[in-house]
A and B are shown apart, each in its own frame.
Chain A
Amino acid sequence: MSPEPTTPASAAPVSAAPGGAYIHNIGYRHYDGPRLGRAYARRSLFSQSLRGAYGLGRSAKSKVLPMLLFAVMCLPAAIMVAVAVFTKASSLPVDYSRYAVYLQAVIGLYLAAQAPQSVSRDLRFKSIPLYFSRPIERVDYVVSKFAAMAGALFILTAAPLLVLYIGALLAKLDFGDQTKGLAQGLVSVVLLSLLFAGIGLVVSAVTPRRGFGVAAVIAVLTIPYAAVSAVQGIAFVQGNEAAVGWLGLFSPITLIDGVQSAFLGGTSSFPNGLEPSTGAGFVYLFVTLAVIAGCYALLMRRYRKAGL
């Protein structure tokens, strides 16, 4: 093909900038540097999404809520630590693995605010084809978004545990006990982060409307919890303690509560502190992992049709 000469107007070599300076159009330069490919793109998407979940790299306004919730999440831990240090208590007032369960409302709010912004925007503004016309593929997109959301939740839930741990050591509590507690707590918040991230993303990915996403995530987290708690209460009053244990399978936070109370040394928030037996604990763990895997599968399915 012989290139035709373009009109001179479209290739003006010099343009005046304000202030009398001239910008010399040095013409198009080709890029011959490295192209880092798919794995790099996946990492970039992960870090962009993770930063975005705390409003970093976004407008000042979008930093307010995540930072506020992060502070709210850490504040009780700081207070507990302060009390423990000053009263020279022999133990912390709360188990590491139960802390997140106590503050589930804050976690729920955070998820409701950030999960839709992470996935609904790309769907709503149809940016998805721009990703999939690049080296990354569907699995990279889903894994990056999932990992970023879970990572953001982990930061949110693990930070107060660290505050507790450092405080406990300052209060000269037993190092071995505290370290074990922290480890158990971290395992429980890893599970919680994965579970909540999965649920939040699946719900948000259904609707391109961010507002609906926020409402839907809150609904999915709170309605089952309210229902489970109420039915557990009724079952407990009627003396059906076995039912109390099993009912916990039906809402995300009680699922985590069941797992942590069965395996991670915590006590549950179920009526009268009832705990699932070890056998039931395995069922809880299995259901938790199954829901996480299910959320991943649903997300993969969701993006199958979202290509160009």
Chain B
Amino acid sequence: MIVTESLSKRFPRVTALDRLSLDIAPGVTGLVGANGAGKSTLIKILLGLAPATEGTAHVLGLDVTKDGGTIRERVGYMPEHDCLPPDVSATEFVVHMARMSGLPPAAARERTADTLRHVGLYEERYRPIGGYSTGMKQRVKLAQALVHDPQLVFLDEPTNGLDPAGRDEMLGLIRRVHTDFGISVLVTSHLLGELERTCDHVVVIDGGKLLRSSSTDEFTQVTASLAVEVTDTEAHPDGTRALRAALTAAGATVTTGAAGAESLASAGHLLYVEAAGEETYDLVRDTVAGLGLGLIRMEQRRHRIAEVFREADEAAATPATAGAPSAPYATQDGGAHDVA
């Protein structure tokens, strides 16, 4: 989908991209980096709107310097900032944008109705955009990026400004863009945690350089664990500890939540049980029941990408002291392109 070869972009005073080489496959790819890491510059170059200082980039097999127009016909773009005029309805606006993408008038109207429905805008699409909530505006922005049925969309910080529920909905929608619509996605975020549920692949850039590029499954699925939280009872004033002892005795690997990115308040009450298979669930259930504790929650939990990166860093620095779960990552670079 996207291939870049030692792509650099230098401005008089800053280097936005520094010999970045990427090879992004179809699917949902997260592009993570702090503000100013070069994410937007990369998108601009990939859309053929800004020339790279050096290096090459191909999108959908097309050269960005020569075929910018063709690329932009087949690619959608959702900007980070507000970009919607408040005085027109979502339908009018998206129809106009569809025509700007080259769709004939009738097709533009039909695709607009379809796309707005798919992103979850119904009757309100006939009302002026000025009255929409942030979540609805984000949906309109997504719709205008999808209306011409692109093969690939660039979504720049699509969850910006959304509340947690809106964030989850948007992330679910992004996932559907790939699974249901068959459109590949490059989504940027400065929040690692957000992308772990959504993306097949995560690329981390910092200061215009590639920090890491690996599949999400690779480094989160192998560490699937169960987060278990139980109540305390009279018989077991510290239910968490009792359960931990019982589970360890039964042969399960149990850790406390200290390493998690969870809030501190709940960390002490969470147990992480390494899931060996189906039997682990039964074991937890039976053990909790046996102790007479109330089970507050038992959820499948992947390690956060953030932890993985941190652990990978630690493992690289001090391999001997790194915890057991982090050991695989040090060697799991796979297709990753290490920074020169």
Q: How many residues of B contact A (CB 8 A)?
A: 54
Q: How far is the CB of A206 from chain B (nearest CB, A)?
A: 19
Contact A133-B77, Cβ < 8 Å, known A36-B102, A126-B82: yes
A130 to B72, CA, bound (A): 11
Are A121 and B47 within 8 A (Cβ)?
no
Closest chain A residue to B49, Cβ basis: A307
Q: How far is the CB of A119 from chain B (nearest CB, A)?
A: 12
Contact A37-B49, Cβ < 8 Å, known A10-B172, A133-B77: no
CB of B311 closer than 8 Å to a CB of A: no
Contact for A38 among B69, B82, B172, CB less than 8 A: B69
Closest chain B residue to A122, Cβ basis: B85
Contact A33-B103, Cβ < 8 Å, known A28-B182, A132-B49: yes
A269 to B103, CA, bound (A): 49
Most chain A CB within 10 A, of B99, B173, B181, is at: B99
Contact for A44 among B88, B99, B144, B181, CB less than 8 A: B99
Q: How far is the CB of B165 from chain A (nearest CB, A)?
A: 13
Contact flags B75-90 to A (C-beta < 8 A → 1, else 0): 1110101111111100
A264 to B269, CA, bound (A): 91
Are A134 and B101 within 8 A (Cβ)?
yes
Closest chain A residue to B123, Cβ basis: A18
Count of A-B contacts judged by CB separation below 8 Å: 135
Contact A125-B82, Cβ < 8 Å, known A35-B102, A308-B43: yes
What chain B residues lie within 8 Å of A34 (beta carbons)?
Answer: 102, 104, 107
Contact A137-B107, Cβ < 8 Å, known A41-B100, A126-B79, A132-B49: no
Contact for A125 among B43, B85, B99, B149, CB less than 8 A: B85
What chain B residues lie within 8 Å of A137 (beta carbons)?
Answer: 69
Are A125 and B83 within 8 A (Cβ)?
yes
CB of B175 closer than 8 Å to a CB of A: yes
Contact for B100 among A28, A57, A134, CB less than 8 A: A134
Interface residues of A in 47-100 (CB under 8 A from B): 48, 57-59
Contact flags A134-150 to B (C-beta < 8 A → 1, else 0): 11110000000000000
Q: How far is the CB of A35 from chain B (nearest CB, A)?
A: 4
Contact A133-B72, Cβ < 8 Å, known A1-B201, A6-B176: yes
Contact for B172 among A7, A37, A125, CB less than 8 A: A7
Contact for B102 among A5, A40, A130, CB less than 8 A: A40
What chain B residues lie within 8 Å of A31 (beta carbons)?
Answer: 103, 107, 111, 148-149
A221 to B288, CA, bound (A): 83
CB of B338 closer than 8 Å to a CB of A: no
What chain B residues lie within 8 Å of A2 (beta carbons)?
Answer: 200
CB of A129 closer than 8 Å to a CB of B: yes
Are B114 and A29 within 8 A (Cβ)?
yes
Residues in A lying within 8 Å of B, measured CB to CB: 1-7, 10-11, 25, 27-31, 33-38, 40-41, 44-45, 48, 57-59, 121-122, 125-127, 129-137, 307-308
